[in-house]
Structure 1
Amino acid sequence: MADDTEANRERGIFIMIYLDYAAHTPVCDEVLKSFEEAARDFTGNPNSPHTPGVMAKKRLEEATENIAKILSAKKEEIIYTSGASESNNLAIKGIAKSYQRYGKHIITSFLEHASVTGPVAALKNEGYEVDFVNINKDGSVDLEHLKELLRDDTILVSIACVDSEIGAIQPIDKIYELVKTKPHCFFHVDATQAVGKIPVSFQNMDLMTLSGHKIYGITGIGVLLKKEQIMLEPLIHGGLSTTSFRSGTPALALCVSLESALAYTTGHLEEFYDKVREKNLLLRRALEKNKNIVINTPEDGSPFILNLSLKGVNTNALQAALDEKGICVATKSACCAVNTVSKPVYAMTKDKKLSLATLRISLSHMTTAEEIERFLDVFLEAIKG
């Protein structure tokens, strides 16, 4: 990368090292092609009874069946949404409204995305009771504490499979076992940072969230998986769609693009994982030598995320300085407010200073060794002063 970064920007030849894939991934060519073909070739509304509508519905059903197969689910369990935020809101508010006759107690954690903690906070204002389960030093949910928190009137436990800031992978099967000891309690898993990156099974979940733009798909399409027997109060009312739980004209081209994105990422799961883990280890081994850097992501966490705390460093200023050099990283989740503590890091470390000075590096199979080396050169030089 040339040193005259600003001049390069102006000439339109700015070279960028993108290390914020947990926030957003670029759309792959296969996905774009599938979207374009579906948008061009199917002119009818899938809900219309005429021939173009029937053809569109047939293609939509095909995409839904393929998505269900990839996710080890039934096609009847798929609810298309606009993305993970809507899916999380629908899962949490939908369960709360549909099962409040059995109780109004909800359990979640401080590792969750704002689209989980937001609706939970809104429900608390409506009279629901919310508990936050403790987080162990390795970033995992404290199962003993969860067991203590569970009550007969608990109707929902919402825990991410992989959280978006520190990348801790949760023991989903063990959490599910605990949840199912209560008669009317459901387990919602935000798998947005897991699907297409690590093996994920819908078997030991009641509801599961994912989003297309995290797996080289298009922004604006997501899915909420919901076991067939579960009821949800819809967020959006107003007419026939692919399901009674979410109204709106089916976005066929977006659904087809999601089918393509899932096929692309899950079809290369081991290959992409190995490439990312290699780059993650390069970063870890270089950064752990610096006594002023604390690596928050556990060794057995997702290799796609590496979270750091930097002692005595203003990470917002550092992020801006790196951006000037063409290196894109995050301080926290893209949906978090600036100049606030990282709740996941604080939940794990109980250290306010460390949780105020975090940096998140998130990787892709497209990340090269040269990009890692360049990042390390610029980053380590920047934190010297």
Structure 2
Amino acid sequence: MIYFDNSATTKPFPEVVDSFVKVSSEFFGNPSSIHRLGVEAESLLAQARKQIGELLQVNPREVYFTSGGTESNNLAIKGTALMYRNRGKHIITSAVEHASVREAFQQLKELGFRITVVPVDTEGRVSISDIEDAICHDTILVSIMHVNNEVGTIQPIKEIGNMLKGYSKILFHVDYVQGVGKVALDIQRYHIDLCSISAHKFHGLKGTGVLVVREGVQISPLFSGGNQEWKLRSGTENVAGAVSMAKALRLTLQSYKTKLSQISEVQSYLLKELQALEDIVIHTPSKGQAPHIINFSVKGFRGEVFVHALEEKGLIVSTTSACSSKKKAISHTLLAMNVSKEVAESAIRMSLSYENTLEEASKAVSIIQTTATELREVMH
């Protein structure tokens, strides 16, 4: 089997699973308890927080543990809106965000907030001037993703952060879920106030994530309860999840240092070979893209039909993002990039990890070619 669906989820590293099992079995105390088992668990949690802070180059006090990207995004967006609703009710996002950002904005719209959705160009990139033009006296939040989860476009986060520096009343949230471990992001230097990550995108376990909240920034909690995570995220902490996430992040960032050229080479090979095949349209931009995502359409076939046909030959890919692929919805990202509905319906996403090889890429291309030929014969 060739697994090219790493943007949906990655296979956890064995060391990550081992650390989760060890902490769950031996250090199972509640970190809020005052006895020895509780103190041990609390100490492991603090250690994981410190490691993640160092790896992301932020203060450990800015690291808040959550259940993953969706919760981090919702906490950042709704937490900001609730906290500053008396200051203003205008919020800005882009046309190509992940469902957990899009739907959170939609919910706030129903609660009376005004939303501006900034368009993107044909490569899926926002324009900084469009964001600045959308700002008005009561804007309180701008939320823009770092790497698009469907086509791999990198947004100009540094430039947006620099521009927003001039607006002291606006918080800047970045969904860093697809970028972490693949494309560097300097959270502090880019003036990012809130930043979301999710462990299962970098060989950690599902159900663990982080929201980085810049020191001095206050947002409203969404959960009421025992005041864990400095009152921002109540609920007994997932100590084993936090420890294993710190390990996954460390191992992934090591791979980033040693294997970035390898993953980029595999992506370049795939883009070049796919471009040479007939009736294939590439949607991933040729410049300013993350090194692990390849999005293309095979004209004449629905994406899901092609995905299942490839799976039968041992190649695992997906259509749109995993969160919406079961709904058979056409990719809102591709439509926002001005791709026709017909071509967007045929879209396929391949996404790599540092474990993938050129040999796998070569096999994948021939599987795609054979499958397209066979399906065409069946249809004629």
Fold match by TM threshold 0.5: yes
Please say if 1:200 is aligned against 2:185.
yes
Q: What pairs with 1:170-249 in structure 2 (closer than 5 Å)?
A: 170-203=155-188, 204=190, 205-249=192-236
For 1:131 and 1:370, how far apart are their aligned partners in 2?
Answer: 45
Alignment match, 2:141: 156
Alignment match, 2:320: 332
Q: What pairs with 1:254-269 in structure 2 (closer than 5 Å)?
A: 254-269=241-256
Alignment match, 1:321: 309
Alignment match, 2:55: 70
Q: What pairs with 1:41-120 in structure 2 (closer than 5 Å)?
A: 41-120=26-105
What SS does the corresponding residue of 1:335 show, helix, strand or coil?
Answer: helix
Alignment match, 1:17: 2
Q: Is the 8 A contact 2:255 2:354 kept in 1?
A: no
**TM-score of the superposed pair, with normalisation by structure 2:** 0.94
Please say if 1:363 is aligned against 2:348.
no
Deviation at 1:137, TM superposition (A): 2.2
Deviations 1:29-73 (A, max 9, x none): 121122122222313211111122112211211111111011111
Matched residue type, 1:313: F
Q: Is the 8 A contact 1:154 1:182 kept in 2?
A: no
Match 1:166 to one of 151, 156, 163 = 151
Q: Is the 8 A contact 1:133 1:146 kept in 2?
A: yes
Alignment match, 1:6: none
Matched residue type, 1:112: E
For 1:104 and 1:178, how far apart are their aligned partners in 2?
Answer: 20
For 1:114 and 1:360, how far apart are their aligned partners in 2?
Answer: 17
For 1:73 and 1:304, how far apart are their aligned partners in 2?
Answer: 25
Number of residue equivalences = 370
Deviations 1:200-246 (A, max 9, x none): 21112110000010000011100000012111111111113232100
Q: Is the 8 A contact 2:284 2:293 kept in 1?
A: yes
Q: Is the 8 A contact 2:73 2:196 kept in 1?
A: yes
Q: Which runs of 5+ in 2 are unaligned?
A: none
Q: Is the 8 A contact 1:309 1:354 kept in 2?
A: yes
Alignment match, 1:251: 238
RMSD (Å), alpha carbons: 1.3
Q: Is the 8 A contact 1:108 1:131 kept in 2?
A: yes
The percentage of aligned residue pairs carrying the same residue is 38
Deviations 1:234-291 (A, max 9, x none): 1111113232100011111111001101110112213232121111111111111134
What SS does the corresponding residue of 2:21 show, helix, strand or coil?
Answer: helix
Deviation at 1:350, TM superposition (A): 4.5
Match 1:375 to one of 339, 344, 364 = 364
For 1:286 and 1:340, how far apart are their aligned partners in 2?
Answer: 28
Alignment match, 2:266: 279
Please say if 1:349 is aligned against 2:338.
yes
For 2:180 and 2:60, how far apart are their aligned partners in 1?
Answer: 17
Q: Is the 8 A contact 2:182 2:291 kept in 1?
A: no
Deviation at 1:160, TM superposition (A): 0.6
Deviations 1:64-116 (A, max 9, x none): 11110111111111111110001001000000000011111111112111010
What SS does the corresponding residue of 1:40 show, helix, strand or coil?
Answer: helix
For 2:150 and 2:341, how far apart are their aligned partners in 1?
Answer: 16
Match 2:281 to one of 287, 294, 303 = 294
What SS does the corresponding residue of 1:31 show, helix, strand or coil?
Answer: helix
Structure 1 runs of 4+ aligned residues shifted over 4 Å read none
Q: Which runs of 5+ in 1 are unaligned?
A: 1-15
Q: Is the 8 A contact 1:346 1:354 kept in 2?
A: no
For 1:319 and 1:350, how far apart are their aligned partners in 2?
Answer: 20
Deviation at 1:340, TM superposition (A): 2.4
For 1:126 and 1:241, how far apart are their aligned partners in 2?
Answer: 27
Deviations 1:104-133 (A, max 9, x none): 111111211101001110011111111111
For 1:144 and 1:351, how far apart are their aligned partners in 2?
Answer: 26
Alignment match, 2:129: 144
Q: Is the 8 A contact 1:307 1:360 kept in 2?
A: yes
- Going from structure 1 to structure 2, the CA distance change for 1:181 and 1:351 (only over 3 Å counts) comes to farther
Alignment match, 2:292: 304
Q: Is the 8 A contact 1:47 1:240 kept in 2?
A: no
Matched residue type, 2:239: L
Q: Is the 8 A contact 1:212 1:218 kept in 2?
A: yes
Q: Is the 8 A contact 1:150 1:182 kept in 2?
A: no
Matched residue type, 1:85: T
Q: Judge which range, 176-185 or 318-327, deviates more.
A: 176-185
Matched residue type, 1:357: S
What SS does the corresponding residue of 2:174 show, helix, strand or coil?
Answer: strand
